[in-house]
Amino acid sequence: MNIDEQKDEVIFFRIKSEKKKDWKKICSNKQISLTSLIINSVENRMMDDERRKVLAFIEKQDNIFGKIENNINQVAKIANGQKFISESQLSNFSDKLSEIVILKKEQNEIFTKIYAKLSR
C-alpha cells in the first residue's frame, strides 16, 4: 500500500493569508511540509526537523565514543609495545575507563528515551 492509498480524507479550513504565509515560512525553515507541521502539532508529535537533529546528535555521540575507543586501543598498543605501564598510568587509565562505562550507560539510557519519543 503506497502513501497515497493510506490518505483517504481531506480537511479544509480557512485561515488568513498572512497566517498561511507564516506557516509556510516556518515549514521552509524547518524543511518540512505544511501537512507535517499541522498533523505533528495537533498530535503533539516531534517535528521531522527535530527528528533529523536528534538522529544527527546520536550519530555525533557515536563518533565521539568511536574516537575514545581508538584512543584506548592506542594506549593498549603502547603498553604492549613497551611491555610496561606504570602503576599511576594504569590507575589513571582504569579510572578513565570506569568513567567511560558510566557515560556510555547514561548515553544508552538517554538514547532509549529518545527512541521512544521518536517512535510516537
Q: Each residue of 3-16: pLDDT tens digit?
A: 556 777 888 889 99
Is there a single domain that holds both residue 79 and residue 113?
yes
38 and 73 in a single domain? The answer is no
**pTM of structure:** 0.49
106 and 50 together in one domain: yes
79-96 pLDDT tens trace? 778 777 777 877 877 887
Look at residue 52 and tell me if it is in a domain.
Answer: yes
Number of independent structural domains in the chain = 2
Residue 79 in domain: yes
Cβ–Cβ under 8 Å, residues 50 and 118? no
Whole-number Å distance between alpha carbons of 71 and 28? 41
Whether the CB-CB separation of 53 and 61 falls below 8 Å is answered with no
Q: Is 14 left (phi over 0), alpha (psi -120 to 50) or beta?
A: beta
Residue 22 belongs to domain spanning = 15-45
Is 71 found in the same domain as 56? yes
Closest CA to 12 of 24, 22, 4, 20: 20
Could you tell me if 53 and 103 lie in one domain?
yes
Q: What does the pLDDT read at residue 22? A: 93
